[in-house]
Amino acid sequence: MQIGIVGLGKMGGNISVRLTRHGHDVVAYDRDPAVTAKVCGQGEGGRCTPATGLADMVGKLSGRKIIWLMLPAGEVTEQAVQELDGLMGKGDIIIDGGNSFYKDDIRRATELAKKGIDYVDVGTSGGVWGLERGYCMMYGGTKEATDHIDPILSALAPGLGDIARTPGRDKPGFDPRAERGYLHCGPAGSGHFVKMVHNGIEYGIMQAFAEGFDVMKSKNSTELPENQRFDLNMADIAEVWRRGSVVSSWLLDLSAGALAGNPDLSDYKGDVADSGEGRWTIEAAIEESVPVPVITASLFTRFRSRTGNNFAEKMLSAMRFGFGGHIEGTNN
């Protein structure tokens, strides 16, 4: 298939390259021409064509036009959707693969439908590792539109891999795509809603790891009786937990890697940003009268980290950098 990709940052660029590796043709655009040229140079088989802007991109797409936006949530994405609304026509598809607020998706889909343009929201998880590992995707939109772009989503998804199948999934009623790492969640907005909650959960898991390692690191405190002090090796503990422990996970893998490279995490200040999804998850919980104390506490801890931090916040920074290349002091 042919698709336009707008925004060639840490994920958008890798998405473009991965699609060319699976035989899809990409028209790519980034506001920095040098980035566009670099990504197109990495595309395989000459399948990545540069565009100089949205109008140029639309002109280079043929047939039913598909454009994937991989831009920061908020005004930047809103402006791009509005511009494409004036450039695209009936049957065309706009995909938002960023982390937009799901209520914005519902509004956009309703407005675009008046012109016959389909809108699909794709919550995309995979960070800087997606080029090789693939991306876990949760998406919302009409069945017709999402079925049409299934070859694109299938190419980006991780596939079955070597993960053991869940017992009982051979029964009717389950979507087989979920086992391959992508899922049609429902109408427009549902994909980003599920990804929003996913990121809220991520906040809580990361916070638990960070606090636990901080407790262990502080066990040699001079405030404790001497016979109760332990000088524990954080890197070794993270490593042993990776091997058969019930808390083994990708986030633990990233923590182990960070600690092995820099045991005291001195490369990190611990100023932990939040990119919005944690806040939105809490807002949704309030609307639904659902208690989410762990996610709420983890968000508030990120707020506090920006006024002074400890080893726990450095652990959070290390994990965020590990999975997404997030730099301290930004919301990216």
Residues annotated as catalytic are: 195, 202
Query: How far apart, in whole angstroms, are the C-alpha atoms of residue 74 and residue 120?
Result: 16
All CATH 1.10.1040.10 domain ranges in the chain, comma separated: 195-311
The yes-or-no verdict on residue 321 having pLDDT over 90 is no
pLDDT at 327: 73
pLDDT tens digits, 177-186: 999 999 999 9
From residue 222, alpha-carbon distances to 67, 142, 323 in Å are 59, 61, 35
Phi and psi torsions of 40, nearest 5°? -65, -30
Looking at residues 67-91, what average pLDDT do you find? 97
Angle at which helix 293-305 crosses helix 277-288, to 10 degrees, equals: 140
As a whole number, mean pLDDT of residues 220-234 equals 96
pLDDT of residue 320: 87
Q: What is the mean pLDDT of residues 290-318?
A: 88
Task: Point out the least confidently predicted range of 6-20, 76-90, 174-188, 318-332.
Answer: 318-332
pTM to 2 decimal places: 0.90
What architecture (CATH level 2) is domain 195-311? Orthogonal Bundle (1.10)
- What is the distance between the alpha carbons of residues 320 and 328, in angstroms, rounded to a whole number? 9
Q: To which CATH superfamily is domain 2-165+173-188 assigned? A: NAD(P)-binding Rossmann-like Domain (3.40.50.720)
Q: What is the mean pLDDT of residues 136-144?
A: 98
Tell me, what's the pLDDT at 331? Answer: 45
Q: Are 91 and 33 in contact (CB under 8 A)?
A: no
**Residue 308 pLDDT class (50, 70, 90 cuts):** confident
**Is residue 116 pLDDT above 70, yes or no?**
yes
Which ranges in the chain are annotated with CATH 3.40.50.720? 2-165+173-188
Nearest residue to 53 via CA among 87, 78, 24, 100: 87
Q: What is the mean pLDDT of residues 251-280?
A: 91
* Mean pLDDT within 268-290: 92
Q: In which band, very low, low, confident or very high, does the pLDDT at 119 lie, cut at 50, 70 and 90?
A: very high
pLDDT band at 329, cuts 50/70/90? low
The confidence score (pLDDT) of residue 332 equals 44
* 3-class DSSP string for the chain: CEEEEECCCCCHHHHHHHHHHCCCEEEEECCCHHHHHHHHHHCHHHCEEECCCHHHHHHHCCCCCEEEECCCCCHHHHHHHHHHHHHCCCCCEEEECCCCCHHHHHHHHHHHHCCCCEEEEEEEECHHHHHHHCCEEEEECCHHHHHHCHHHHHHHCCCCCCCCCCCCCCCCCCCHHHHHCEEEEECCCHHHHHHHHHHHHHHHHHHHHHHHHHHHHHHHCCCCCHHHCCCCCHHHHHHHHCCCCCCCCHHHHHHHHHHHHCCCCCCCCCCCCCCCHHHHHHHHHHHHCCCCHHHHHHHHHHHHHCCCCCHHHHHHHHHHHHHHCCCCCCCC
Buried-exposed string 296-325: b where 16+ CB fall within 10 A, e elsewhere: bebbebbeebbeebebbbbbbbbbbbbbbe
What average pLDDT score do residues 116-127 get? Answer: 95
Q: What is the average pLDDT value for the chain, to the nearest integer?
A: 94
pLDDT in tens, 189-214: 999 999 999 999 999 999 999 999 99
Query: According to the model, what pLDDT value does residue 328 have?
Result: 65
| Residue for token pair 């809220």 | 200
